[in-house]
Structure 1
Amino acid sequence: MSTEPIEVGRVASGVEGLDPVTGGGLPHRRLTLVSGTAGSGKTLLAVQFLAAGILDHDEPGVFVTFEERPSEIARNFRSLGWDVERWERDGAWTFVDASPDLEPETVVSGDYDLSSLVLRVRHAVQRSGAARVAIDSTGALVDQFGNAQVARRALFQIGTELQRLGVTAVMTAERPDDYGAVTRFGFEEFVADNVVILRNALADEKRRRTVEVLKLRGGAHLKGEHLFTIRPGRGMIVVPQEVLSFGYASSHQRLGSGVPELDRMCGGGLLARSLVLVSGPTGVGKSLLASHFAAGGALDGQRGLLFSFEESRDQLARNAAAWGIDFDALEADGRMRVVAQAPEAASLEDHLLHLKQVMAEFAPDRIAIDSLTALRRVATVKSFREYLLGLSFHIKEQSLLGLMTATSREPSGLDLSGDLHMSTVSDAIIVMQYVADHGRVGRAINVMKVRGSDHDKDIREFLIDDTGMHIAGRLDLRNWHVLPEVS
């Protein structure tokens, strides 16, 4: 007779965004190894784990340090708002100081005595009633042994004692490379029930911080790498690469794009809860269409959010005013919000985190992002793909109507950057392009794709005047030709 699998209970990690990746938190009363290169955030995660227990769950914690002095650890984490010294005075935080004595006159001979360390950890846990233990780091501990086999037995002894004490523990370990061996010595991962990898990889002169659950006994977890960032006052924040298994809702409702002629080309408007990609060369009018989209929704009673990564807030408002759109009035009424941020001002994961925060605060009905190409400048190809997937699934999960712009190298607008998945995650694709006729350069627009709906297949000319964008009739391509690619 088969039985239903039983998941191991979970303990909140205290790291925002990490618990969805681990399936609800760190496994209860088990040991989790956190491995990473220097500067990847291992000690931060360990401290944050204990801090969350104290602040959110009234659970005392024990921090075993083999590397830094307790005073240094307390001082380093004051900037995050964690008063370790006060917690220590109150009995909520207990240090077990096993850091090396670096006094010149100290001479160490013979094998490291582990029995006294195990007794100190046991005493600290029992005296404080600790439910959480952090050990930082195994590498520094192993360095105090002259024999790798002795060090291995020592780590297994510590792991066994932690299990006997019934605590949930985090233990950090060094690894030589971001994508090499799991740990420096090659046996630390076998001591733990669970293994979490932190990376701070350098690619194309850009850093990319990610977390990956390599092993999690007794429970399911999300696979692959997930971006994370470190924020002042908040610590480590994970931005999961959301995979919704296409469980988000769809709709047959039509919503205005802000340009009535474009609504007719799309079969009566844009489908609600869909994601629209607008592709075209620089200067063709993508930002204008994004402004029409956000402001048009606000004028129809929807809350519109416009994120710009190419122009300042004042430039956007000035340009919109030239097209007859009053951003200031719409923002003052609470119907619209405009956010402008330089791509280089933050990492890609910080941008995604900020965007989600603004979405949560403002609660828009529709969102326009102008442009994805600007963000591509500050990211590796892999990071950008992760950002794009996380962004698109989050928009759909929130049941919003979304519009994203992307710059094409070709005046035809047909370079859809498919290698970055822009076109595949989009429900509709609108292409804007430059065309020429006997010495005159014009602009054209066509709808290339609308999932679940018929649409106008014609390429139409459009004009821009002081009232915005106006789409005219079908182009006679016998008189017009597409401009050549810009190198």
Structure 2
Amino acid sequence: MSDPAAQGERAASGIPGLDHLLRGGFPSSRLHLIQGDPGTGKTTLALQFLRTGVARRGEPCLYVTLSETKAELEAVAQSHGWTLDGIDIYELTPPGALEDEHYTLYHPAEIELAEMVKGLLQATERLQPVRVVLDSLSEMRLLARDPLRYRRQILGLKAYFAARSCTVLMLDDRTSDEQDQQLQSIAHSVVQLEHMAFEYGRSRRRIRVLKVRGVPGIEGYHDFKIRTGGLVVYPQLVPAQRGAVDLPQPVTSGVAELEALTGGGLTPGTCTLLMGPAGVGKSSVAAQYLASGAIEAPAAAFLFDERRKTFLQRNAALGMNFTSHLADGRVTIDQIEPGDLSPGEFAHCVCEKVDGRGARLVLIDSLNGYLNAIPTQHSPLVRMHELIAYLNERDVTTILVAAQHGIMGMNMAAPIDVTYLADAVMLFRFFEAGGNVRKAVSVVKKRTGSHETAIREFAIGPEGIRVGKPLADFHGVMTGVPTYHGGPSTLLRSDDRGE
């Protein structure tokens, strides 16, 4: 008899993200281990696995339950809008089996392990399943009592199912010693589910493929959610390295002076960081690029700091009307609620706009909002860097907005190491002159080419964004304490500033 697993056959899990991590699904005719604490989604994953076998191939499927009743499994399925048609559920402790035991309390240890296994084998011989789920091994572990007996029993089941070309998922809630790795050494592959709670926002779930024999699986932790309809896994992004390609034209703002500052516009396949204190105009300049870029190609914005309605009203007052762009789908604007998304799910949302809708410009406003709205214990900036690298490989122009702490002076604190994330940095500052608070902008970094080194004043008003000539007559503009050295004033007049 040929070995399906040796021929590369896979049993799809019905979860696209997990199948991606497994390089196509669980190897067929093998025994696999699904580990996780109670409530992490093991039962839901198992039901998706069996339902996929029924739906795609009409395979006979068997769910052997030691810890849940058939009614409980049907309730889980109903919560996802599923039926269990085509799946045989075998209860090793069927209802009514204890009706005559009026004076004793039921305990798993009172059932002989041999009798339980005998019932399992009889059900398998009768139904001839192709896919089998054993839920859960903690009950079998209690019945075995002795680690050696327990290991021998699992090895016996592994050989039995392999001889019948069954693909088996064993569910384990890890109630035993965490250092007990007997099951991991026996199983062909090991998938671990974890659940993490934070002080604010929704809890986070993550999945890890610990091993798959003979398959170079995708390592690391990956976010997942349990939604109505089953598990959704968000694999970490892995940018594909490509050879040299002809880059699209730079993304321009429609403001000639900004084009002069940036050396002709924002280069596709790079990330530009707009950084400065609150209220200096970063989001307005970013919206200007969004509105101008959408004329040439679809664009997407993700808002962490303000409501979608406020964003549209504010920019409409500056002459940037997104109504037509939104109507024809050239611009999408998503408002991200605090604590609602994991880093992996957010990255998936961005990639869906790029790969699914063809967005060529992505605006994330702001990085501070991202760090606060998506709490995580695991290097949030690494996840953002991963996302930006993915977008860069697809020649997408990325704009990040980041607020610095402080208003004026030299004690302006940046929330990040700008070199780690950004290919270009546009720096905004307040400065005081003539009794007025004014705004200045400059480009301090651009990896992909030359840029203007001058500092220019800019203003925001009903006519939009106005950028002045280089501030050649001032020193110390970036410190917030400029010194005027005479000569013709190059500051914007009140009418140019929209005042």
Tell me how far apart the structure 2 counterparts of residues 351 and 295 of structure 1 sit (CA, whole Å): 23
Which AA in structure 1 matches 2:186?
Answer: V
Which AA in structure 1 matches 2:89?
Answer: F
Q: Give the secondary-structure state (helix, strand or coil) at the position aligned to 1:142.
A: helix
Alignment match, 1:435: 431
1:44-93 C-alpha deviation (Å, 9 max, x unpaired): 21111112222233323211111111210111121212201xx1xxxx21
Alignment match, 2:361: 366
Which residue, out of 258, 262, 266, partners 2:258?
262
Alignment match, 1:136: 135
Flag structure 2 segments of 5+ consecutive residues without an equivalent. 1-5, 482-499
Which residue, out of 218, 222, 241, partners 2:218?
222
1:45 aligns with 2:40: no
Tell me how far apart the structure 2 counterparts of residues 148 and 102 of structure 1 sit (CA, whole Å): 28
Which AA in structure 1 matches 2:171?
Answer: T
Shift in Å, 1:466: 1.3
Q: Give the secondary-structure state (helix, strand or coil) at the position aligned to 2:278.
A: coil
Tell me how far apart the structure 2 counterparts of residues 60 and 479 of structure 1 sit (CA, whole Å): 77
1:337 aligns with 2:332: yes
Alignment match, 1:19: 19
Which AA in structure 1 matches 2:70?
Answer: P
Shift in Å, 1:271: 1.4
1:70 aligns with 2:66: no
Q: Give the secondary-structure state (helix, strand or coil) at the position aligned to 2:475.
A: coil
Tell me how far apart the structure 2 counterparts of residues 11 and 253 of structure 1 sit (CA, whole Å): 41
Contact 1:447 1:455 in 2 (8 A): yes
The change in CA–CA distance for 1:326 and 1:33 in structure 2 (over 3 A counts) is same
Which AA in structure 2 matches 1:95?
Answer: I
Shift in Å, 1:221: 1.0
Contact 1:376 1:384 in 2 (8 A): yes
Flag structure 1 segments of 5+ consecutive residues without an equivalent. 1-5
1:464 aligns with 2:460: yes
Contact 1:248 1:396 in 2 (8 A): no
Q: Give the secondary-structure state (helix, strand or coil) at the position aligned to 1:214.
A: strand
Q: Give the secondary-structure state (helix, strand or coil) at the position aligned to 2:172.
A: strand
Tell me how far apart the structure 2 counterparts of residues 102 and 351 of structure 1 sit (CA, whole Å): 50
Shift in Å, 1:204: 5.7
Shift in Å, 1:224: 1.1
1:455 aligns with 2:451: yes
1:273 aligns with 2:269: yes
**Scaled by the length of structure 1, what TM-score is found?**
0.85
Which residue, out of 178, 182, 204, partners 1:181?
178
Shift in Å, 1:127: 4.2
Which AA in structure 2 matches 1:83?
Answer: T
The change in CA–CA distance for 1:430 and 1:81 in structure 2 (over 3 A counts) is same
Tell me how far apart the structure 1 counterparts of residues 59 and 76 of structure 2 sit (CA, whole Å): 22
Tell me how far apart the structure 2 counterparts of residues 399 and 479 of structure 1 sit (CA, whole Å): 37
Which AA in structure 1 matches 2:34?
Answer: V
Which AA in structure 2 matches 1:227?
Answer: D
**Scaled by the length of structure 2, what TM-score is found?**
0.83
1:334-372 C-alpha deviation (Å, 9 max, x unpaired): 332222232244444444444444445533222212123
The change in CA–CA distance for 1:405 and 1:413 in structure 2 (over 3 A counts) is farther
Shift in Å, 1:161: 1.7
Contact 2:29 2:166 in 1 (8 A): yes
Instruction: Tell me the matched-pair count.
Output: 465
Q: Identity across aligned pairs (percent)?
A: 28
Contact 1:13 1:25 in 2 (8 A): yes
Contact 1:173 1:188 in 2 (8 A): no
Structure number with greater Rg is: 2
Shift in Å, 1:403: 1.5
Tell me how far apart the structure 2 counterparts of residues 406 and 324 of structure 1 sit (CA, whole Å): 24
1:478 aligns with 2:475: yes
The change in CA–CA distance for 1:131 and 1:203 in structure 2 (over 3 A counts) is same
1:211-239 C-alpha deviation (Å, 9 max, x unpaired): 11111111101111111112222x11111
Contact 2:92 2:119 in 1 (8 A): no
1:382 aligns with 2:378: yes
Contact 1:414 1:431 in 2 (8 A): no
Shift in Å, 1:375: 2.3
1:325 aligns with 2:324: no
Shift in Å, 1:296: 0.5
Shift in Å, 1:160: 2.1
Contact 2:428 2:440 in 1 (8 A): yes
Tell me how far apart the structure 1 counterparts of residues 411 and 459 of structure 2 sit (CA, whole Å): 17
The change in CA–CA distance for 1:479 and 1:368 in structure 2 (over 3 A counts) is closer
Tell me how far apart the structure 2 counterparts of residues 413 and 354 of structure 1 sit (CA, whole Å): 36
Instruction: State which drifts further: 410-419 or 290-299.
Output: 410-419
Tell me how far apart the structure 2 counterparts of residues 250 and 342 of structure 1 sit (CA, whole Å): 37
Which AA in structure 1 matches 2:437?
Answer: V
Contact 1:416 1:423 in 2 (8 A): no
Q: Please show how residues 31-430 of structure 1 align to structure 2 within 5 Å.
A: 31-84=31-84, 87=85, 92-99=86-93, 105=102, 112-175=111-174, 181=178, 185-202=180-197, 207-233=203-229, 235-244=230-239, 246-247=241-242, 251-258=246-253, 259-299=255-295, 301-378=296-373, 379-382=375-378, 384-385=380-381, 387-411=383-407, 415-418=413-416, 423-430=419-426
Tell me how far apart the structure 1 counterparts of residues 325 and 297 of structure 2 sit (CA, whole Å): 11
1:298-328 C-alpha deviation (Å, 9 max, x unpaired): 23x3222222122222211111111101111
